[in-house]
Structure 1
Amino acid sequence: MSDKGLFSSGIGSTVPVGIAAAFVALAGWTIWDGTVPAPSSYTNSVGIRLVRVPAGSFVMGSAVPESDSWDEQPAHRVTISRPFWISESEVTVEQYRRFRPGFLGSMVEMPSVTGIGWDDATGFCAWLSRLEGKTYRLPTEAEWEYAARAGTSTPFWSGESPPDEAAANPWGLKCMHSGAREWCLDWYGPYAAEAQIDPVGPASGLVKAVRGGGLDRSSPHYARSANRAGYAPAFRVMEGTEPSEMPAEQPPSEEPSRQGLIGVWYGRVNHTDPKAVDEITTLDLDWKTFQQPGQDRGEIWSARWEGFLTPPVTGPVTFHVQADRAAEIAIDGRTVVGGDASRGTLTGIAAVVKGKRLHIAVSYAHDHGEQSFLRVLWSWDGAVPAPVPPGSLSYSPAQHARQRSIAPRELQPGHHTIGFRIVQAEMPPTQSGHEERPFIQECVVQAANPVQAGPDPRKPWLRRRPLLPVPPVSAGQEESRAAGLWAGMMAHIHNPALEVLPNGDLLAVLFTSRYGPGGEDRPEVALIATRLRFGSDEWDMPEPLIDFPDVNDTSAFLWSRGKTVYLFWGHTFLNGAYPFQWTATTDSGATWSHVRFPRFVGEIGPHSRQPINSAVRTADGTFYLPSDAIGGSSLLWASKDEMATWYDTGGRTLGRHTTIALLRDGRILGMGGKTAHIEGCMPKSITADGGKNWIVGKTEFPALASGQRPSLQRLQSGRLFFVGDLQDSLGRYPPAVRQRGAYVALSEDEGETWTVKKLEGTLPADPAAQRGNPYQTLGYTIARQAPNGIIHMVTTKTVPVLHWELNEAWILSKDASFMEYPKQAVSSLREYREIYPSGRLRSVRRGGVTPGGEFKLHGRQVWYYEDGRTQWDVGYDAGVKVGRETFYRPDGKPVWAWIHRPDSRSVWTQYWPDGRKRCESTWSGCRADGPARSWDRTGRFQGETRFLNGRSAR
């Protein structure tokens, strides 16, 4: 791969001739008289060596089309109009401590200072500027790439391969492709196609640009001169975890305080090559059904766990061990059972005392084969062997510390690899660019909508519609681009979050990734979103909402409280990431706050950085946020002070993706979710002490597996609502479950018993996502109830991804048919207006109520910029878009336009900033169907892709 030919010729390390003084007093620099050569470097008062970079121009980004590097395009010419000084290498810990005495940061890229936030870096620059009386700042992204290339056009200044770490580039700069990653001045945003002079990025955003290497991964691809990374500016070492802040270390407690066993898994069968700390909450384990994200254990591995076992009886207990290979159990240091279990169940007897904790050590080894499992059962007094219940297993902080000392170091939250280098120069005079927000954040109603309007709750209601178009669902990335979708959109769209916004709109957030092994693990995974505007029958086209470049964004969760809606999500694979982070909106998703990170009090136990699909707030104000733990278990993060501080509640459920609801008596019920079972059935977990301990039991519902997630919701009626599949993703189900497909259920008695009904209208599993499932599925589910009583669900793993509407009356009715609803006339039309604070008109929209009670947009809807220009113009007929729909830029030129025909066929046209056509695609309903064409900025035709029913017809 090469970027050859991108760099303009004639740029060297000398000042351009023709200037009277060899070094002009630009930006407050020293004026040189022309008789003495300008210096090429100097060392400032804190020992930072700065190197002079000449003015010049280059082509920024990469012209090599590559799906993983879409944000490096379009390659565009950039002029750096004035020379500047930039530090030879990153600022060191020693230099930074002149600003913050005693600070050590994360110490992961010594001697460079790392683990600092963007504000810390700019704070250092401001302090140094005051100290020396000249302007210091961070480099812009353009300055950084210009200096990194140093007159070259190849992926690295050294050519096609990275340079030696100690080598300097032709302009004297070191560590541009290695060492600490580096904060840049700019907010991260898409590149402009036109030539630019001294660009400084967009005016605002959620992510600051980072250069000098990848964040999730450190392979050479992510260290190229053109590579872009980024993170939230508040990302820094968590308070209380800097080495200088850490209290004198106290010996960890030997008293067990967590459920489960703790250990380490190894890369070899003989318990060598330790890989990571491993927590298990059950002794019924199947690693072929599930492996921890980012921990593909391969065909040869082993593990050893320890903790305590608390038996319920006194006397001899027989342990029964089943495994595909070797396994061993030791009680109080004595081997009770061990050997090769592949030939049959191993048994051994230990004498125990009821309620007395015994030290237990469990070992396992896997050496190839189709199966990888371990099951430990026990029996006494001639009873049938039964699984060892999770509540009998526990481990102590001291045991956790011992296992952690064996495994490779896992960084504390915020102990990341990002540092910075400095520039000595005035700020470029360029104005910040306009932040281009996705349409899902534009034209958002702020005034009151008639959100209570809805179907009669006494009459059954069941409806479904496509949530997302095809493509991108189950289509190649090139197909999505050809159809006019965002360049980072990929085929596997999954793990949905859903919330009913204060204005009545629905917002759905999902991740987009590739299919196949490792597809969900890649740094290019991002969060996309779509909006169903109140009164409309059609979801907006999906667009990016959260994308930390070079970081895997996943596991979105939306939760509302009053007028505020919170968006939580995780960074599963970034070492040093927090367990989660969040942003919030108070205007129904039009704008989002800066990203916040949790400050934890106390020990953080083993976990995955993956929030689930539910949360509860108890009567005492404690907020509980479920998240995946390790293996087939989940946990609750909790905050008692409005999210100012957080803590790990300590216990673990049985089931990954456990979905929760608050019971009337204050207990918390957790259902499922997957990769755990009791006799083939889904487990349930109940805690009466805020997640510290869980009591596990069996439900009547089938256990779930990979690609499945149930959803639990407390309804306005007081009932509990539950939804899931009637078989797992491999087609397995317990004998008592007679039907296949999916179900919805209601409980009147806090989950003790359920009224269960098969959900009609489900679709077959997407073969690209669930090859082993021959049945219809809902995949991952999320449910929310609107103020009008309608239950909304989003489900994935089908083509297309679906949005469901239903009510309790349908679940309780005897009618099992899927319901179709003919178009209804709209009456009682009303006009709604919104006004800017200046008094200017912001929008005019119209809508009314159907005979069935639904509110529908009807007639022309027009939104305006504050200067009076039209922003969005669309027509509706009883909630369905008709005629021409156009979204405009502030200068009056179109961004895109649709022509909606009565036969459900439509044409989507997108435009370059100058108003020329960029691409045009033809659609039938939610599927691309017909020609899709594209043009370059000059109007030259680039090519055509023909679609048939959502797929390119080759």
Structure 2
Amino acid sequence: MPGSAQGLAFLLHIGSFTMVKCFGPALVIIALVFSAGVTVGAEKEMTNTVGMQLVRIDSGGFMMGFEGDPLKDEILYPQGRDEKGAKDFLRNGNFDERPAHKVSITKPFYIGVFEVTNAQYEQFDPGHSRYRGTRNYSKGDDDAVIMVSWDEAAAFCKWLSEKEGKSYRLPTEAEWEYACRAGTKTPFYTGATLVSGQVPPNSWGLNNMHGNVEEWCYDWYGPYPDEAQTDPVGRIDGDYKVTRGGKYSESIFYMRSANRGGTIKVDKSWLVGFRVVLSELPATKPLPVFKEAYQENVSQKVPRDIAKGPESEYFVIRTYINIPEDARGPLHYLHNHNPDIVQCPNGDLLAIFFSSQTEGDREMVYGASRLRYGSDKWDKSTVFWAPPDRKSEYSVLWADNGTINNCSLLGVAESRPGAIVMRSSADNAATWSKPRVIAERADDQGVMETVFRTSKGTIVMPADDHNFFISNDNGLTWTSSCNAKGPAGIHIPMVELKNGDILGFGRNDDIDEKMPMSISSDTGKTWKISASVFPKIGGGQRATMLRLKEGPILFLSFANSRKPMKMIDGNGKESECQGMYAALSYDEGKSWPMIRLVSDSVERQVFSRKNKYFTMTATVSEGNGYLASCQSA
């Protein structure tokens, strides 16, 4: 392609490819004293100085995780089974509930009969009352406190410990499930099913272990070991802290004793509260940090020839999503979508994509694949971003001054209102910084690929719903530039023009059957919208665009079969073509003299969306997909 860069890498993503009182006589209390404070006595129940009721849980053992008969339809399909049986893959619980394994709890502990209430928490932090009634939840003194991060829950425990001279903390995940089950082996302590709104306390006197709010646990989230454990405390580090118990107004599947949730420790939402434990933390050694395959054996050397591109024309089709056909969690074979790609400083290519059974539920996670420098085959795909039981619908990557940055949407259960979180890697995506929230939850924050830095140093991150985000301090803080009058369309790739304007092309909001072109001269405050020269695109399609290092702008999109488009075909001749094409502009988007089909002259069968093949020819290329691009040399 004349004027194009050698070593250009672009990524095509296609869907298939991808509250109990004490009765009876007084008790003799025998207290065990440790260096950190008073711990568990012999009394069965107690009330502390903030009015919190706690019950003693004796030591014992249980099977942690999912075991037993397959789950019934009333758990998987509370509104009735759908025709496709979309939840059938959860018959034996979620993937992270396995393997079920024996756990021994060797020391008794006290645990709150209820979650910490607004009145109790506000003794610690009076200002927290401003969160009462968030989204019409948690208004009363005795309602479970919400909008509390893991760190704030831990700080409450520390405050209460210092106040009473005792050892309060969050329960470990194992303690929570042990206390919830209360000796049962069924999906709920009530048995095989649950009637929402009619959940009595369990046989050990605990309320709201199924529903009400999710509850923070002590542990970092990670996969279970395939062996028995004694007093486990989870992983030594991680991205997410465990939550348990499910919330009000959701499927009872997520309220089961074995179900695991989680989110980043700085997250606050109207779904999550906590209850406390009174006892020393077990002295058990935590499990090591769990690393995904894309993070293992990552070279930290920069190849000498990294800037060298192919010496001749190069065209190859590679499968970058490598997921087994029977995969049903954490990655899924059936529905993979919405990718991005970046070149690491060491020359590796890292691609990400969401993976799910359906597009609207909590099993949606982000996967990753790595193409190591010098290799001709992508590594197997593994998890990239997956807060448990949190829908993860959007994630983007970009390289900037030797650092790889990632922004992802942090959902609330299965719902869209998402916070944007950011993390960075200085070692070629072998490790990442702790995620931090850069934009609080809102409905218009579906971040998109083509993040770029302007000539003045501003970082621009496109998003759906007429929105994008900008940072003028290297990503430390961000502001939203949401404008109902532009840019036009959705899934809008953007570049900076040499005069400082921002150019974008959208899907939808078509003008005369053409993609809308949006230009802003004031960093997104206002937009000029007109018809582009490119044919409109629709569902299952997303364009991409980037500024090549050599200067021209590269744009990739689709010409639909009903209206073929004149362009250079795979034989180098002008023909009526359909499918994916690449276009080059040498005059800042005013004209696009070079438009060529992404194909060659070889006819072949190519695996495509919905697990089907299409015939690629000199005039026919892939007709659908979400595109992402980067320049590798």
Q: Distance in 2 between matches of 1:760 and 1:58?
A: 59
The alignment's TM-score, normalised by the length of structure 2, stands at 0.82
Contact 2:399 2:405 in 1 (8 A): yes
Q: Distance in 1 between matches of 2:40 and 2:299?
A: 56
Contact 1:181 1:418 in 2 (8 A): yes
Q: Distance in 1 between matches of 2:147 and 2:193?
A: 28
- What one-letter code is carried by the residue in structure 1 that aligns with 2:319? P
- What one-letter code is carried by the residue in structure 1 that aligns with 2:261? A
Task: Label 1:513 to 1:487 Cα distance change in 2 as closer, same or farther (>3 A).
Answer: closer
Match of 2:66 in 1: 62
Match of 1:428 in 2: 282
Correspondence for 2:433 among 571, 593, 600: 593
SS at match of 1:155: coil
Aligned pairs for 1:864-903 within 5 A = none
**Structure 1 residue 148: deviation in Å?**
0.7
Residues 848-880 of structure 1, C-alpha deviations (whole Å, 9 max, x = no match): xxxxxxxxxxxxxxxxxxxxxxxxxxxxxxxxx
Match of 1:90 in 2: 115
Match of 1:852 in 2: none
Q: Distance in 1 between matches of 2:310 and 2:64?
A: 59
Task: Label 1:31 to 1:100 Cα distance change in 2 as closer, same or farther (>3 A).
Answer: closer
Match of 1:480 in 2: 327
Residues 637-692 of structure 1, C-alpha deviations (whole Å, 9 max, x = no match): 122233333222132311110000000000000012x2331122111111111112
SS at match of 1:558: strand
Unaligned runs of 5+ in 1: 1-20, 33-37, 237-414, 789-954
Contact 1:165 1:175 in 2 (8 A): no
Residues 169-204 of structure 1, C-alpha deviations (whole Å, 9 max, x = no match): 111111111211111000011111211111111111
Aligned pairs for 1:527-542 within 5 A = 527-542=366-381
Q: Distance in 2 between matches of 1:31 and 1:785?
A: 61
SS at match of 2:379: coil
Correspondence for 2:334 among 491, 508, 521: 491
Structure (1/2) with the larger strand percentage:
1
1:568 partnered with 2:407: yes
Q: Distance in 1 between matches of 2:580 and 2:181?
A: 56
- What one-letter code is carried by the residue in structure 2 that aligns with 1:205? G
**Structure 1 residue 449: deviation in Å?**
1.8
Contact 1:572 1:610 in 2 (8 A): no
Task: Label 1:31 to 1:435 Cα distance change in 2 as closer, same or farther (>3 A).
Answer: closer
Correspondence for 1:609 among 445, 448, 467: 445
Match of 1:581 in 2: 421
- What one-letter code is carried by the residue in structure 2 that aligns with 1:421? R
Q: Distance in 1 between matches of 2:310 and 2:383?
A: 36
Match of 2:177 in 1: 145
**Structure 1 residue 784: deviation in Å?**
0.3
Contact 1:658 1:670 in 2 (8 A): yes
Match of 2:7 in 1: none
Q: Distance in 2 between matches of 1:764 and 1:739?
A: 20
Q: Distance in 2 between matches of 1:54 and 1:451?
A: 64
Match of 2:49 in 1: 45
Contact 2:247 2:271 in 1 (8 A): no
Aligned pairs for 1:668-707 within 5 A = 668-672=502-506, 674-707=507-540
Match of 1:758 in 2: 597
1:109 partnered with 2:128: no
Task: Label 1:452 to 1:29 Cα distance change in 2 as closer, same or farther (>3 A).
Answer: closer
Correspondence for 1:174 among 190, 202, 207: 207
Match of 1:659 in 2: 493
Task: Label 1:453 to 1:622 Cα distance change in 2 as closer, same or farther (>3 A).
Answer: closer
**Structure 1 residue 447: deviation in Å?**
2.4
Task: Label 1:106 to 1:743 Cα distance change in 2 as closer, same or farther (>3 A).
Answer: farther
Correspondence for 2:255 among 223, 233, 236: 223
Residues 751-799 of structure 1, C-alpha deviations (whole Å, 9 max, x = no match): 111110111059464245899x99732511111001x2xxxxxxxxxxx
Unaligned runs of 5+ in 2: 1-27, 71-87, 568-575
Match of 2:570 in 1: none
**Structure 1 residue 26: deviation in Å?**
6.8
Residues 471-506 of structure 1, C-alpha deviations (whole Å, 9 max, x = no match): 53xx4xxx237xxxx654332122111000111111
* Structure number with higher relative contact order (C-alpha < 8 Å, ≥ 6 residues apart): 2
Match of 1:638 in 2: 470
Match of 1:776 in 2: 622
Paired residue total: 555
Contact 1:92 1:113 in 2 (8 A): yes
Q: Distance in 1 between matches of 2:170 and 2:347?
A: 43
Task: Label 1:680 to 1:565 Cα distance change in 2 as closer, same or farther (>3 A).
Answer: same
- What one-letter code is carried by the residue in structure 1 that aligns with 2:423? T
Aligned pairs for 1:431-580 within 5 A = 431-455=285-309, 459-469=312-322, 471-472=323-324, 475=325, 479-480=326-327, 488-514=331-357, 519-571=358-410, 574=413, 577-580=417-420
- What one-letter code is carried by the residue in structure 2 that aligns with 1:646? W
Match of 1:129 in 2: 161
Q: Which stretch shifts more, 427-436 or 576-585?
A: 576-585
- What one-letter code is carried by the residue in structure 1 that aligns with 2:292? P
Match of 2:541 in 1: 708
Q: Distance in 1 between matches of 2:259 and 2:132?
A: 24
Correspondence for 2:103 among 60, 69, 78: 78
Match of 1:193 in 2: 226
Q: Distance in 2 between matches of 1:424 and 1:640?
A: 46
Task: Label 1:78 to 1:26 Cα distance change in 2 as closer, same or farther (>3 A).
Answer: farther
Match of 2:186 in 1: 154
Q: Distance in 1 between matches of 2:420 and 2:562?
A: 33
Match of 2:244 in 1: 211
Task: Label 1:425 to 1:578 Cα distance change in 2 as closer, same or farther (>3 A).
Answer: same
What percent of counterpart residues are identical? 36
SS at match of 2:156: helix
Contact 2:213 2:247 in 1 (8 A): no
RMSD (CA atoms): 2.6
Aligned pairs for 1:346-365 within 5 A = none
Task: Label 1:183 to 1:579 Cα distance change in 2 as closer, same or farther (>3 A).
Answer: closer
Task: Label 1:30 to 1:751 Cα distance change in 2 as closer, same or farther (>3 A).
Answer: closer
Contact 1:58 1:77 in 2 (8 A): yes
Contact 1:555 1:570 in 2 (8 A): yes
Task: Label 1:740 to 1:587 Cα distance change in 2 as closer, same or farther (>3 A).
Answer: same
Task: Label 1:733 to 1:123 Cα distance change in 2 as closer, same or farther (>3 A).
Answer: farther
Contact 1:118 1:235 in 2 (8 A): yes
Task: Label 1:112 to 1:451 Cα distance change in 2 as closer, same or farther (>3 A).
Answer: farther
Q: Distance in 2 between matches of 1:621 and 1:497?
A: 22
Q: Distance in 2 between matches of 1:577 and 1:119?
A: 22
Match of 1:25 in 2: 32
Q: Distance in 2 between matches of 1:494 and 1:709?
A: 11
Task: Label 1:537 to 1:734 Cα distance change in 2 as closer, same or farther (>3 A).
Answer: closer
Match of 2:579 in 1: 741
Q: Distance in 1 between matches of 2:382 and 2:462?
A: 27
Task: Label 1:146 to 1:708 Cα distance change in 2 as closer, same or farther (>3 A).
Answer: same
SS at match of 1:521: coil
Contact 1:676 1:704 in 2 (8 A): no
Q: Distance in 1 between matches of 2:473 and 2:545?
A: 25
Task: Label 1:586 to 1:560 Cα distance change in 2 as closer, same or farther (>3 A).
Answer: same
Residues 181-229 of structure 1, C-alpha deviations (whole Å, 9 max, x = no match): 11100001111121111111111100100001069x7111111111111
- What one-letter code is carried by the residue in structure 2 that aligns with 1:625? M
SS at match of 1:511: strand
